[in-house]
Structure 1
Amino acid sequence: MENIEIINLWKQYDEKLEKSLSLNQKIITELQQQKAKNALRPARNYKIFAVFFGVLYAAMIVYFMFYLKPYASIFFKVSVGIHLLVIVIAIAMYIRQIVLISEIDNSQNVIQMQQKLACLRVSTVNAIAVCFLQFPVFSTWNITFRMINETPLNFWLIQMPIVALFTFAGIWLFRNVDIKNMDKKWFKIMFYGVEWSSIIKSGKFLKEIETFEKN
């Protein structure tokens, strides 16, 4: 009889211990999730500011283009037009990133958070990569037909090599600024600010949850 009572007591103890461990695991998971969400706040604030500034900057470009249109060369118009298009695309991508952060904030599932965070990382990198596509326009806006006709040597020997260099740099950066290169030194030098570091920090908190649940 005493043995049965002891066994029952052990079973009750095991049940309580299991419930306690389960509760502790749940609490730790929730705390890590909250830390991951809080870590993204600097990135969200940065992106909101970037969108606000980007909209103002795009509006300023449109304003000046409207008044300079009669006097500007076709090279200037095309260069500024491409620059404006890239800015608008970048703004749209940043708005999407803000939505992703909001979805992470509202998510209670770790896997969903990890998926959204992965999308956020890729989108952040892609937004920077897209911006590099406008590199050539910074070397073409000042070209005019008068330059080509009156100073052909300067145009072909100085201006065009500069355009070619900017074009090569823009294409190379667009192709190589990729999430697969995030462990490379030059990538880390490029992505070091509060926007990127807060995303990485959030990912580490989620990774800790995954490691904890496996153990």
Structure 2
Amino acid sequence: MQEMELIHLWKAYDKKLDESLQLNRQNATEITTMKVQTLLHSMKPAKLFAVIIGICWVAGLGLLLVKLFLNDYETTSLFFLYSLSLQVLITAVAIVVYIYQLSLLHNINLDEPVVLTQQKLAKIKASTLWVTRILFLQAPLWTTFYLSGRFFDNIPAGWLIFQCTITLLFTVLALWLFFNIRAENANKKWFRLLFSGNEWQPLMKAADLLTQVKDYEI
């Protein structure tokens, strides 16, 4: 009889332990999910601000470019026209990407399977890397937009060398970043320096927390 009581007590304890573990997993999942939600919400203001500023920038410069191309094309520096045109085009592409990311963030439902949320975060991560690479291609344009058609006429050799050197350096830097901003370089110091703001760190923290949630469900 004593042996049966011990077995019964052991089973009762085992059941309570399982219930306690299940409750702890549930609480951990809820707390972690709340943290993920907070991190994802923290990303929206910066992206929304970038979209608003970007639209104003593209609209303003776009109107200026239309006026210059239609009325003042012959008297306006081609360096200015085409440097500015490329800047507007690249900024417009970035705006589309940010709107796409805001749409993904808005449609994330943390009640859905974790895998689906992870897929959306992966898309945001990939598009963030891609748009950053594209935006850095603007760098050389900031060294050419102010040049005039007469820039190379009777220019001192020293100034010409300086201008060409600066443009070349910015071009090399832009191309290097374009080809090296990739997920596999995320642990490198220069990468962490570039991606230290509210567009990247909350995203990576949220992805790590979602992995924990997935482990809780196992």
More deviation, 59-68/133-142: 59-68
Q: Do the aligned residues in 1 keep the contact of 2:33 with 2:110 (CA within 8 Å)?
A: no
1: CA distance, partners of 2:10 / 2:202: 47
Please state if 1:87 is matched with 2:91: yes
The aligned counterpart of 1:33 is 33
Give the distance between the partners of 1:10 and 1:160, measured in 2 at CA.
Answer: 82
RMSD of aligned residue pairs (Cα, Å)? 2.7
* CA distance, structure 2, for counterparts of residue 146 and residue 129 of structure 1: 32
| Equivalent in the alignment of 1:51 | 51
Identify which of 104, 119, 139 aligns with 1:135: 139
- Paired residues of 1:136 and 1:167 also in contact (CA < 8 A): yes
Q: How big is the shift at 1:106?
A: 5.2
The answer to whether the 8 Å contact 1:100/1:120 transfers is: yes
Separation of aligned partners in 2, 1:7 and 1:106: 42
Gaps of 5+ in 1: none
Question: How many Å separate the matches in 2 of 1:126 and 1:190?
Answer: 14
2:148 aligns with 144
Q: Is it true that 1:124 corresponds to 2:162 in the alignment?
A: no
Deviation, 1:24, is 3.9
Q: 2:38 is aligned with what amino acid?
A: N
Instruction: Give 1:201 shift.
Output: 2.5
Residue in 2 that maps onto 1:62? 62
Kindly report which structure 2 residues correspond to 1:145-184, keeping only aligned pairs within 5 A, or say none: 145-151=149-155, 153=157, 156-184=160-188
Q: 1:147 touches 1:155 (CA, 8 Å); kept in 2?
A: no
| AA at the equivalent of 1:168 | V
1:201 to 205, 208, 211: 205
Query: How many residues end up aligned between the 2 structures?
Result: 214
Question: How has the CA–CA distance of structure 1 residues 152 and 105 changed in structure 2, closer, same or farther, with 3 Å as cutoff?
Answer: farther
Task: Quote the Cα distance in structure 2 between the aligned partners of 1:32 and 1:12.
Answer: 30
- Whole-Å separation in 2 of the counterparts to 1:46 and 1:207: 25
Runs of at least 5 residues in structure 2 that lack an aligned partner in the other structure: none
How many percent of aligned residue pairs carry the same amino acid? 34
DSSP 3-state at the match of 1:194: coil
Report the CA distance between 1:182 and its aligned residue: 1.1
- Cα offset, 1:200, TM superposition: 2.5
* 3-state DSSP of counterpart to 2:152: helix
